[in-house]
Amino acid sequence: YRDELKPYGRLLRRRVLERAEAVRSRVSKRAIERIRSTCENCPWLHVQAEEGGDWSVLIQGRPACFVEINSPEDRYPAKLWRDAEAYFSSMADDTALPGGRYLCAQALVSKRLPFLSGLSLGRVCHFVQLAISEKRILGHLSGTIVPYSRSRAKAKELLAQGLQPAETPGEGYAMVTWESLRPCLLSIFDERRPEDAPIALANLKRIIRSKHNLDLSETAL
């Protein structure tokens, strides 16, 4: 609650392991698996189901004031973003932050950065989310989080400006062009029914590759 992070089951398991590691103790796999049942048997706690098969725990009678980490709403002052951009742009090229919002936020909190002073861990998680998805201050690279200028997204952006593919076609495959893409899409959608779910871009690439021996690169188009 103090961190303003909703106590999802996956987070509780992580926290238990973190606490045990901090005191150089070990937690058995069985104990981790019994966290939910332990919470359910406690009269002070309320366990509820969440989307995706997860669950969360609330303290009975205590207001739930948690940060919506995925929210695009930015309530942070402009100075915070200016200071953050200056800090991350000065990071050495061989440094990176842990991948994942939670681990990245923990690393940032441990640095005691002035522009994040006073923010809970949940708020810093939200900051990381906005810095990646909205502000383009941070980005992903090989399982880590880095300044946007070094990220995979920035590299793809530069490739797209020059209409260059992000990867070379595999052996036996050709790169999709606008001319070859149209008949591919027509053949794919002709086979689908109105009630079928939308096709994710990653799946579209796989279908075009398997049915038409073509590699689709959005940066090349």
Of the ranges 62-66, 118-122, 193-197, 207-211, the best mean pLDDT one: 118-122
The predicted pLDDT at position 5 comes to 95
Q: pLDDT tens for residues 189-212?
A: 888 887 888 888 778 888 888 888
Lowest pLDDT segment from 60-64, 135-139, 199-203: 199-203
Instruction: Output the pTM of the full model.
Output: 0.79
Q: Which amino acid is at 25?
A: S
Residue 138: beta bridge partners?
A: 147
Q: Which helix (H) or strand (E) segment is 103 a member of?
A: helix 101-110
Token pair of 27 as six digits: 């937690």
Token pair of 65 as six digits: 């004031």
Q: pLDDT tens for residues 157-186?
A: 888 888 787 777 777 788 888 888 888 888
The predicted pLDDT at position 108 comes to 97
For residues 207 and 188, is the Cβ–Cβ distance under 8 A? Answer: yes
The predicted pLDDT at position 85 comes to 96
Looking at the predicted structure, is the pLDDT value of residue 7 above 80?
yes
Residue 123 confidence class, pLDDT cut points 50, 70, 90 = very high
Phi-psi region of 206 (alpha: psi -120 to 50; beta: other; left: phi over 0): alpha
For residues 4 and 120, is the Cβ–Cβ distance under 8 A? Answer: yes
